[in-house]
């Protein structure tokens, strides 16, 4: 187990280094930089002033030097300064992380608490009207884009109540925070719930056909015990994989949802930073998302051994 953990941690480090190299150099391949954008907006280009600004921002140095400078600062906890606001990048990013984390966490809670039980019910009631109805709902969830569903919710809110949900970044208590995040979380979590339900249903159907399930029923085990203790426990591994992937996706994949609901989160801020070629912000946000994805995959691997005793990571 220890050797496996060492190998996984080493692979995580290599992955993050590779991602840092890719995002750093790809970002600078894109035509134009912050200096070009600023001077283009001004309508006048003074070569001397442009060169001076590039020197102040450090983007006139060789790319390798810029990369080493960024990585060195990252290891020291110095994320640099935003080119647009001229504030430390850490001050710009930190307030937005809890907002996206709450939204993603609530959406994930919605998807698992709804998707897994409905998937089990759909599998147990295979071929019934309830099964067909749940499959239609799941297909609808996979078919409807979250941003379009969000727009429908906003339109319906205006039509029914004369107003739309307004995001409050500083809720006073838990219930106010829940009300603030519930609507956008439900909009984006509906698709995740549909996917979770489909995977749970498919995995449950496969397990319910196994011989040990028939044996458990033959021994007089109750349906609840068969479905949840015997079947779901062995069908949960694919669901864990999907939930882990969705958790990683929700951190960086809420761009349109945050835009529709005017939420000042990480994903929306990343798009704005890309548009302005704000290199320090883009690089650090992408690295943050990469860390979340890598940690989520590592957590999924560890949960395999917890939920399935047949899996053992030997040295």
Q: Which of 92, 115, 141 is the last residue of a domain?
A: 92
> Quick one: 147 and 123 in the same domain?
yes
> Quick one: 85 and 102 in the same domain?
no
> Quick one: 76 and 159 in the same domain?
no
Q: Which of 92, 121, 156 is the last residue of a domain?
A: 92
- In this prediction, residue 241 carries a pLDDT of 86
Asked if residue 203 belongs to a domain, the reply is yes
Q: Are 204 and 124 in contact (CB under 8 A)?
A: yes
Tell me the residue range of the domain where 66 lies. Answer: 2-92
| Secondary structure of the chain in HEC code, one letter for each residue | CHHHHHHHHHHHHHHHHHHHHHHHHHHHHCCCCHHHHHHHHHCCCCHHHHHHHHHHHCCCCCHHHHHHHHHHHHHHCCCCECCCCCCEHHHHHHHHHHHHHHHHHHHHHHHHHHHHHHHHHHHHCCCCHHHHHHHHHHHHHHHCCHHHHHHHHHHHHHHHHCCCCCCCCCCCCHHHHHHHHHHHHHHHHHHHHHHHHHHHHHHHHHHHCCHHHHHHHHCCCCHHHHHHHHHHHHHHHHHHHHHHHHHHHHHHCCHHHHHHCCCCCHHHHHHHHHHCCCHHHHHHHHHHHHHHHHHHHHHHHHHHHHHCCCCCCCC
Residue 142 CB neighbour total at 10 angstroms: 14
Angle at CA of residue 47, ends 45 and 50, nearest 5°: 80
> Quick one: 249 and 143 in the same domain?
yes
Domain with residue 247: its CATH number is 1.10.3720.10
> Quick one: 99 and 49 in the same domain?
no
- In this prediction, residue 267 carries a pLDDT of 83
Instruction: Judge if pTM exceeds 0.85.
Output: no
Q: Which of 63, 92, 121 is the last residue of a domain?
A: 92
> Quick one: 6 and 25 in the same domain?
yes
Asked if residue 13 belongs to a domain, the reply is yes
Instruction: Write out the chain's pLDDT in tens, 315 residues.
Output: 677 778 888 888 899 899 899 888 887 777 766 776 666 655 666 677 767 777 777 777 888 888 888 888 888 888 888 877 878 888 888 988 888 888 888 889 999 999 999 999 999 888 899 999 999 999 888 888 777 777 787 788 777 777 666 677 677 777 777 877 888 888 888 888 999 999 999 999 998 888 888 888 888 888 788 888 778 888 888 888 888 888 877 876 677 788 778 888 888 888 888 887 788 888 888 888 888 888 888 888 888 777 776 666 655
Q: Are 245 and 191 in contact (CB under 8 A)?
A: no
Q: Are 36 and 256 in contact (CB under 8 A)?
A: no
Asked if residue 248 belongs to a domain, the reply is yes
> Quick one: 120 and 201 in the same domain?
yes
> Quick one: 110 and 258 in the same domain?
yes
> Quick one: 134 and 263 in the same domain?
yes
Question: How many distinct structural domains can be found in the chain?
Answer: 2
Asked if residue 76 belongs to a domain, the reply is yes
Asked if residue 282 belongs to a domain, the reply is yes
Distance CA 256, CA 141 (A): 17
């Amino acid at each position: 187990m220890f050797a496996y953990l060492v190998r996984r941690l080493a692979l995580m480090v290599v992955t993050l280094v590779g991602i840092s190299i890719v995002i750093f150099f790809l970002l600078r391949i894109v035509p134009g930089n912050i200096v070009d954008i600023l001077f283009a907006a001004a309508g006048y280009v003074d070569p001397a002033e442009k060169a001076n600004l590039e020197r102040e921002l450090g983007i006139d140095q060789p790319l390798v030097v810029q990369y080493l400078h960024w990585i060195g600062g990252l290891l020291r906890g110095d994320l640099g300064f935003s080119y647009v606001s001229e504030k430390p990048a850490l001050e710009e990013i930190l307030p937005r992380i809890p907002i996206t984390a709450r939204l993603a966490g609530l959406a994930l809670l919605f998807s698992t608490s709804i998707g897994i039980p409905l998937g089990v019910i759909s599998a147990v009631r295979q071929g019934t009207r309830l099964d067909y109805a749940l499959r239609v709902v799941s297909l609808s969830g996979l078919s409807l884009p979250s941003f379009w569903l969000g727009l429908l919710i906003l339109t319906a809110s205006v039509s029914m109540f004369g107003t739309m949900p307004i995001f409050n970044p500083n809720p006073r208590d838990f219930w106010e925070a829940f009300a603030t995040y519930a609507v956008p979380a439900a909009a984006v979590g509906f698709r995740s719930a549909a996917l979770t339900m489909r995977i749970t249903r498919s995995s449950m159907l496969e397990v319910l056909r196994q011989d040990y399930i028939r044996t458990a029923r033959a021994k007089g085990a109750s349906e609840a015990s068969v479905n949840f203790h015997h079947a779901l426990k062995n069908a949960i591994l694919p669901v864990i994989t999907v939930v882990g992937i969705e958790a990683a996706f929700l951190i960086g994949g809420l761009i349109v949802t945050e835009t529709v609901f005017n939420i000042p989160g990480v994903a929306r801020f990343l798009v704005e930073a890309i548009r302005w070629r704000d290199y320090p912000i883009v690089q650090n946000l992408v690295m943050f998302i990469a860390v979340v994805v890598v940690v989520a995959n590592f957590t999924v691997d560890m949960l395999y051994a917890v939920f399935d005793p047949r899996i053992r990571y030997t040295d």
